[in-house]
Amino acid sequence: MLFRQIFDPKLAQYAYLIGCQQTKEAIVIDPERDVDQYLQLAEEEGLRIVAVAETHIHADFLSGARELAERIGAKLYLSAEGESEGWASNWAKNGRYNVTFLHDGDTFTIGNLVFQAVHTPGHTPEHLCYLVTDQGGGATVPIGMVTGDFVFVGDLGRPDLLESAAKISGMKDPSARRLYQSVLRFLELPDYLQLWPGHGAGSACGKALGAVPQSTVGYEKRFNASLAPAREGETVFVEAILSGQPEPPLYYARMKAYNRDGVPLLGKLPVPRRLSVVELDRLVRQGEVTFVDTRLDRMAFMQAHLPGALYAPFNRSFNTVVGSLVADDQQPLVLIIDEEDVEQAVRDLVRIGYDRIEAYATPDTLIRYFNEGGARAAIPMISFAEVARLRTQPDIAVLDVRYAAEFEAGHVPGALNASYTRLPEYLDRIPKDRTLLVHCATGGRSAAAASFLAAQGYCVQYVADDFAVYQQIGPVESNTPVIA
């Protein structure tokens, strides 16, 4: 058996290429939309992808299952569970695809490899895991389990997303109770099984995912903090798993709908054109695109950026910032980005549904544009010492864009809380008649939030400081978020 784990560091997502080395056939489980990466890897390993499977209908990225079915005729293995609750892969039901819908206990083979579906609802109603047995090597029991968003290293998949992200009311508690039942079943699995999760540290599909790429069932039974409350009963487990979950990025609802009803076919990756200073100036004057400024130096952005630009640094937060703060995935985007990062940025964006990447300008081009008198905007920067001095003035509002759990643990007295991942939802509750002092824990999330709010016409000052500094010099209170 050939086993390859493919990691996307920005989405903290794991896909799996699993192949039979005797028949040279392979399956991809939970692929992202830009499927050329899996086709190339399979070719390098001397394998041919013949099938694709999904553990569930994803919320954090667009699936590549349809793309592989269309491009190479891959057979689909999808969940038949959860259909009565509206979470079936509707797009695969039109008779166009070679698809098998799986129930709990169903098996299928890829070469000499046997895959058994295990229904593990809770994170989503339709969620499946896959036990993998290498019969070609003489094994009669599974070597491991692809767990998707059920069990992670150190955590469990959150059961609240259908309510908190997809806005289906009343789903959190019953989903958590179903997850409890799935956990009880997991605890009966043999300890030797390897555990291959769908995400690692940095994913918003849980609250404390580990950075180790794989584990074993036995290790997770002993040390997974989210599994431990299950041993104290359902009530304790439900309370523990639902507490402290971070607010999901705004784009998750779109991903759920696309993955259920049909991801648009991608074909070739978009190829944005490089802009000259003259072309950049024309686009700024037209005002019909959204500029996404990816420079890592946020101080440089605050001092000078294109009017209305969104600050989305090209680091691990890139997808989350764009997905949370660009509400319209049909809006044409123009990137401010280094030449060598363009292709990866395009991949990052199409994975969450942004296909209209029209053009890009390098930071050097941006500087030349400014030097030639091009339009620019700036956002004032202040310290937490100034926040402590200004916070009680009637024309000032402190806006804390950390997650609600962070806010509740301690914040500036009188501050408003609006997680940056859901910021567009809070606009009607954020005062426009006061200057907003925007902060987070260390300045990263609030830099993106400040740029977004400034583009919406708010008077913003960016707190370029660590909240730990304020905790040393100003009063701190703990309570429920005011506007979130």
Cβ burial, residue 42 (10 Å; 0-12/13-18/19+): buried
Cβ burial, residue 468 (10 Å; 0-12/13-18/19+): exposed
**Measured distance CA(65)–CA(63) in Å, rounded:** 6
Of the candidates 20, 129, 205, 440, the residue annotated as catalytic is 440
Show the 3-state SS of 157-170. Answer: CCCCHHHHCCCCCC
Exposure on the CB side of residue 210, measured as CA atoms within 13 A: 19
Nearest to 424 by CA among 447, 397, 449, 407: 449
**Measured distance CA(320)–CA(111) in Å, rounded:** 38
Show the 3-state SS of 144-156. Answer: EEEEECCEECCEE
For 59, 117, 139, 205, 459, the CA distances from 157, given in Å and listed in that order, are 12, 18, 30, 6, 38
**Measured distance CA(149)–CA(27) in Å, rounded:** 19
Coil, helix or strand for 461? strand
Nearest to 387 by CA among 350, 414, 352: 414
Are 338 and 420 in contact by the 8 Å Cβ rule? The answer is no
How far does Cα 406 stand from its chain's mean position? 19
Pull the structure tokens for residue 172.
């959190």
Say which amino acid occupies 58.
H
- Would residue 459 show up in a list of annotated catalytic residues for this protein? no
Catalytic residues: 440
